[in-house]
Amino acid sequence: MYSSALLTLLALLCNVQAQTSSSVYVEPTVPTGTPIPGDYSGALRPQLHYSPPIDFMNDPNGMFLDANGTYHLYYQYNPLGIVAGNQHWGHATSQDLYHWVNQPIAIYPGAAGEGIFSGSAVIDVNNTSGFFPNQTNGVVAMYTLNTATEETQEIAYSLDGGYTFTKYAGNPVISIGSNEFRDPKVSWYAPTQSWVAVISYAQDFTIGFWTSPNLVNWTHASNFTHAGILGLQYECPNLVSMPMLANSSLADPLDPSNFASTGEMYILQVSINPGAPQGGSISQYFPGTFNGTVFTPVDTATRFTDFAKDNYAGQFFYNIPQSSPQISIAWASNWEYAQTVPTGPLEDFRSFMTLPRTNVLANTTRNPYTLLAYPLPPPTSLEITPSTPLLSSNNLTNNTLLASYTSTVPSGALSFSINITNIPQVNTTGTANFTFLSSVTGEYVRGGVFLAGGNGDTPLWLDRSGVRGFDNPFFTDKFSTDVWLNPDTSTVRLYGVLDRSVLEVFLNNGEKAGTMIFFAEGILDTVIIGTNDLNPGIGVSVEVVGLGSAWAAEEVGGGNGTVLGNVTAMAGGQVMRRDWVGHLGEGM
Ligand SMILES: *[C@@H]1O[C@H](CO)[C@@H](O)[C@H](O)[C@H]1NC(C)=O
Ligand SMILES: *[C@@H]1O[C@H](CO)[C@@H](O)[C@H](O)[C@H]1NC(C)=O
Ligand SMILES: *[C@@H]1O[C@H](CO)[C@@H](O)[C@H](O)[C@H]1NC(C)=O
Ligand SMILES: *[C@@H]1O[C@H](CO)[C@@H](O)[C@H](O)[C@H]1NC(C)=O
Ligand SMILES: *[C@@H]1O[C@H](CO)[C@@H](O)[C@H](O)[C@H]1NC(C)=O
Ligand SMILES: *[C@@H]1O[C@H](CO)[C@@H](O)[C@H](O)[C@H]1NC(C)=O
Ligand SMILES: *[C@@H]1O[C@H](CO)[C@@H](O)[C@H](O)[C@H]1NC(C)=O
Ligand SMILES: *[C@@H]1O[C@H](CO)[C@@H](O)[C@H](O)[C@H]1NC(C)=O
Ligand SMILES: *[C@@H]1O[C@H](CO)[C@@H](O)[C@H](O)[C@H]1NC(C)=O
Ligand SMILES: *[C@@H]1O[C@H](CO)[C@@H](O)[C@H](O)[C@H]1NC(C)=O
Ligand SMILES: *[C@@H]1O[C@H](CO)[C@@H](O)[C@H](O)[C@H]1NC(C)=O
Ligand SMILES: *[C@@H]1O[C@H](CO)[C@@H](O)[C@H](O)[C@H]1NC(C)=O
């Protein structure tokens, strides 16, 4: 808790102007109508991943693609401290999901003690709500209002394409008298011309399906309950349909000619926190069918979106055509340590999002419905001298390559690809490993594939035990998973992106995804990729590409790292300097 005298003083100092948004906060030190500046140059700050300018971020919210091709990302945001609290909806926009422009905070709590918790946004093109008589780009956000006594579902509408919102006067639109009822994710179900919201009854381990003709009047349609891993709470459900690949997991998941003609399948994704099998937070998904009121899973199995520990509360963008791969972004952290990681004290912000991922379903070996989650490739404009990769080999058999990239890749961001072909199905031997090392401190993160799991079992592992910048008993340091070698392709493909404090790896087009954050004391500056003990005949190709900083172009003042965001977006806004604000909300 912070002192109200201090707040009054700050309000006087800051001479806060009239609010430009109708979503008005009682807290005068939170800037309205202007983005919050942030320093994106810190050694721990990812250069390709989204992170907030300052302070604490958690779940992605309200993600939609507008008619102009702009992606909108909102996020759970405490603009008053580097731990969770004072939940607002922060906002950023992007054309390519790598270069982000920070926008003014979009939705504010309306009273002390209120939190604008997670939710989603849709475009009401047909004005079903009646809020948008003169436009087709009206946006309706549906979120949970959290108070000391209840969690209700509210809506707010935006006449300006999602930049400012007005809370609906008739809120709440759903109230059931529960304080564990949250995270509405709305989509449009065309066959019945109806909106559908999936909402979590968190501690009843139930996802409720609600329908509405107009986003205002909601009817409970069905419950999906006690499925998969329960953990201690269900949160952040998503219902989304996506293409299914006709063939194996190694068909290009972005090429529509590879999609099954039988049409799309749904997944219901449910996040669990706390109580994930590896501790804390994780997400699971259920493939199935949906008929407008009832979701029917294909089987009773639990499937996870990630095999490591830093992928939670993922959300899918609204308005990606149903017949296209769906795009998701998740929070790259875990509640077990999200509020204690060292970016807080060292660089004044906490949490990153994952890279944007494209998602399709595939019938992989031994598992008929597997989500393939694969990052959208970084734009080629971000590749450093693409014609000369940092490392490259088309036959790295029983051999090791090493490159130092201190001077050539100042962002510290790299992508790497290791393709292993002609793998025998039996008596398989060999490994392919990667290590990113600090030549100054000797710290490292590493991982690899192990081909000798046994007649097709192909384990993949990740290890962050070699970095020393963060010590926490919940910061588990090793992760592993397995895929079964596809006998038709005899191939394993590993792709990954390293970005200062986060490593994401993807096996076989995303059949397995691993997201691992880490905090080194020294800057990682050397990459080593090696294989050994491979059966004769196995082929290995390797490429490591240096990537630029997506934030650098926005930095002002000769590369001092400060990103101002979209300062021209709204008239009448006031820049709130960080040094006036301090860490007011810490510890709340
Ligand atoms: C829509 O346009 C009509 C006619 O110009 C105007 O009277 C009305 O105020 C507009 N409504 C909104 C919500 O902008
Ligand atoms: C697209 O951009 C134009 C021009 O800036 C703007 O008038 C329009 O409102 C935008 N459309 C959407 C859907 O945001
Ligand atoms: C909008 O109306 C069209 C035409 O009736 C319909 O096909 C479409 O599903 C509707 N979409 C939404 C989001 O209301
Ligand atoms: C759906 O689940 C909620 C939470 O357990 C429960 O309160 C409600 O009665 C259920 N509705 C139906 C129709 O079963
Ligand atoms: C929809 O909700 C509004 C506001 O609560 C109410 O006035 C209206 O009667 C409802 N309409 C229907 C069809 O239920
Ligand atoms: C959806 O499926 C449920 C359960 O099978 C059934 O009760 C309901 O009538 C179906 N709804 C539609 C619109 O087909
Ligand atoms: C998946 O592939 C297996 C092996 O080819 C096949 O038997 C099975 O029917 C397929 N399942 C689906 C859902 O396509
Ligand atoms: C790859 O390298 C191995 C070991 O150096 C060699 O035996 C093999 O012939 C090479 N394969 C190709 C396709 O060049
Ligand atoms: C695999 O190894 C076993 C034991 O050495 C041997 O008997 C068998 O012939 C091998 N199989 C193949 C296909 O090489
Ligand atoms: C890869 O790592 C494994 C496990 O630490 C090790 O056994 C193997 O020798 C390593 N291979 C290479 C090429 O570094
Ligand atoms: C790689 O090393 C293993 C073990 O030393 C050996 O059996 C194999 O022939 C080597 N592979 C190639 C292609 O040289
Ligand atoms: C691995 O295979 C993928 C898919 O064909 C390709 O895009 C990538 O460039 C390959 N990587 C290497 C190092 O050959």
Question: From the alpha carbon of 363, which atom of ligand 7 is closest?
Answer: 1
How sure is the predictor about 247, in pLDDT bands with cuts at 50, 70 and 90?
confident
Among this protein's residues, is 579 annotated catalytic?
no
Query: Which of the listed ranges 147-156, 376-385, 563-572 does the model predict with the highest average pLDDT?
Result: 147-156
Burial class (CB in 10 A: 0-12, 13-18, 19+), 159: middle
| CA–CA gap between residue 308 and residue 505 (Å, rounded) | 10
Per-residue model confidence (pLDDT) at position 246: 84
Do residues 525 and 581 share a domain? Answer: no
Residues 370 and 404 in one domain: no
Q: Is the pLDDT of residue 367 over 60?
A: yes
Q: Provide the domain count of the chain.
A: 3
The token pair that represents 551 in the structure block: 């934030």
- In the chain, the N- to C-terminal Cα span, in Å, equals 5
Residues 6 or more apart from 400 whose CB is under 8 A from it? 528, 529, 530, 531
- Which ligand 4 atom is nearest residue 223's CA? 1
- Looking at the structure, tell me whether residues 388 and 357 fall in a common domain: no
Q: Among residues 305, 340, 374, which one ends one of the domains? A: 374
> Average pLDDT for residues 476-496, to the nearest whole number?
94
Mean pLDDT of 519-533: 98
Residues 530 and 420 in one domain: yes
Count of beta carbons in the 10 Å neighbourhood of residue 577: 12
Residue 266: give its domain's CATH number: 2.115.10.20
Comparing 575 with 121, the larger pLDDT belongs to 121
Distances (CA, A) of 121 to 30, 65, 215: 23, 10, 11
Kindly state whether residues 328 and 408 are assigned to the same domain. Answer: no
Distance from C-alpha of 432 to C-alpha of 401, rounded to nearest angstrom: 12
Q: Ligand 12 pocket check: which of 417, 494, 544 to mutate, most ligand atoms within 8 Å of Cβ?
A: 417
Across 128-156, average pLDDT: 98
Give which of 230, 232, 164, 176 is closest to 208, Cα–Cα.
176
Nearest atom of ligand 11 to the alpha carbon of 397: 13
Q: Are residues 16 and 77 in the same domain?
A: no
Q: Is the CB of 433 under 6 A from ligand 10?
A: yes
Measuring CA to CA, how many Å separate 57 from each of 32, 156, 281? 18, 21, 15
Distance CA 326, CA 311 (A): 17
Q: Which burial class, exposed, middle or buried, applies to 380 when counting CB atoms under 10 A from its CB (0-12, 13-18, 19+)?
A: exposed
The pLDDT, as a whole number, for residue 249 is: 59
pLDDT at 206: 98
The full DSSP string for 135-151 is: -S--EEEEEEEE-SS-E
Q: ∠ CA(307), CA(310), CA(316), 5° rounding?
A: 90
Nearest-CA residue for ligand 10 atom 7 is 431
Q: Band the pLDDT of 559: cuts 50, 70, 90.
A: low
The dihedrals phi and psi of 187, each to the nearest 5 degrees, come to -140, 170
Ligand 7 in reach of 247 Cβ (< 6 A): no
Whether residue 26 sits in one domain with residue 148: no
Co-location of 439 and 485 in the same domain = yes
148 lines ligand 3 (CB under 6 A): no
Q: Which residues line ligand 11 (CB under 6 A)?
A: 397-398, 533-534, 536
Q: Which residues of 30-60 are buried (b: 16+ CB within 10 A; e: fewer)?
A: bbbbbbbbbbbbbbbbbbbbbbbbbbbbbbb
pLDDT the model gives residue 270: 98
| Catalytic member of 39, 55, 59, 463 | 59
Nearest ligand, CA of residue 452? 10
Q: Cα(466) to centroid of ligand 10, in Å?
A: 15
342 and 475 belong to one structural domain: no
Q: Are residues 201 and 337 in the same domain?
A: yes
pLDDT at residue number 586: 30
Residue 280 CA from chain centroid, whole number? 17
Indicate which CATH number applies to the domain containing 430: 2.60.120.560
Q: Give distance in angstroms: CA of 368 to centre of ligand 7.
A: 6
Closest CA to 486 of 456, 453, 449, 451: 456
Q: Whose CA is nearest to atom 8 of ligand 10?
A: 431
Instruction: Say whether both 342 and 401 belong to one domain.
Output: no
- Bridge partners of 316? 328
Q: Are residues 365 and 398 in the same domain?
A: no
Using pLDDT thresholds of 50, 70 and 90, give the confidence band for residue 5: very low
Q: How far is 423 from 418, CA to CA, in rounded Å?
A: 14
Q: What average pLDDT does range 173-195 have in this prediction?
A: 98
Per-residue pLDDT band for 248 (boundaries 50, 70, 90) equals: low
Domain boundary among 329, 347, 374: 374
Structural domain harbouring 188: 48-374
